[in-house]
Amino acid sequence: MRARELGIPLTGEPGPWDAITDVPGIEVGYVTLCEGDDVRTGVTALLPRGRDGVGMPCAAGLHSFNGNGEMTGTAWIEESGSLAVPVLITNTYAVGPVHRGVVEWVRANRRDMAPEWLLPVVTETWDGHLNDIHGSAVESRHAAAAIEAAASGPVEEGCVGGGTGMRCYGFKGGSGTASRVVEYGEDRYTVGAFVQANFGARRELVVAGVPVGRELPDGPAPEPDGERQVPPGAGSVIVVVATDAPLLPGQCEALARRATLGLARTGTTGSHFSGDIFLAFSTANEGALTSTFPEDDGSAPYESMRFVPWGRMDPFYGAVVESVEEAVLNVLTGAHAMTGRAGHHVPALPLDQVSALLAARGAVA
């Protein structure tokens, strides 16, 4: 179920699907790989303007809360303030084949888009507890398949796509999303968040202000298997924030920074061993921020952008914080228990016990 179905009190007005796809034009696609005993992984594709809009830049900004992770293509986003390619999320050691897969898909489908070079955005979290991360399960074709599977509408959550083998706060993690509507004068905009959650120590988990991680009974101790144990809280989290509000690249960066506060509401203190990298973009101002070879015709064109004044950004910041918090909770309430590599087992969040703890604290919607 989703966090709202569990009765967790959440503030703000969600969009129709309560998902990043409430931002018009955004599409999400998955390839989920669960094979045999050792493969628990996949690929997620987020398309800011859908397949037909690949190559049309969006204003974009980044924030690295903790840099123990990878997101390719970030130097160009910081340089140009724009994002014109799909965003792919997978496991740590699959960045290479997924990167190649994006290049192959663009070459096959968008030969008009800077065929001389391409800087894909591929990012990751570590799923080596449940998945044979050293294996070759993820191939370049899976990146193309995730892009082709991308669609608008409701978004599946939990153990799907790049989030298939992830853990969050010691429970089964994965993929999650949420959205908020922001009224700005006579206009209504949407802010949406998507997370691949693989972070947090069990003792840190907070739900609606209740420290449930400390109050839930401890699970069974992991059986020794000769492997070095990953410290609690290690793993990483990727957050993608999107909006149709007209924003400058610097304002998108400001939205990305606020993802930190949404995560903090769920209890994390930010492990040194977690790569927490956030990307935000605006789908407004279509046609601006282009970066193409100049025509040798003597022309000297200009571009212009419409944007929300900096002093009016607070409601958008709040929408990011609320969306990110709910997206993480949707991961935890939507994921199921999973057994994978070497017999490792990760339990799902015990929803009945969480409900009882929230009810005892008067924290049920």
| Residues belonging to the active site | 236, 274, 276
Nearest to 256 by CA among 270, 243, 271, 241: 241
Identity of residue 250: G
CA-nearest of 120, 96, 94, 123 to 106 is 120
Phi then psi for residue 157, to 5 deg, are -130, 165
**Residue 238, both tokens:** 């990727």
CA proximity to 62, closest of 70, 44, 74? 74
Separation between Cα atoms, residue 70 and residue 87, nearest integer Å: 13
- Helix, strand, or coil (residue 179): strand
The pairing of strands 58-67 and 275-282 is antiparallel
**Per-state percent for the chain, helix, strand, coil, to nearest 5:** 30, 25, 45
CB distance 349 to 335 below 8 Å: yes
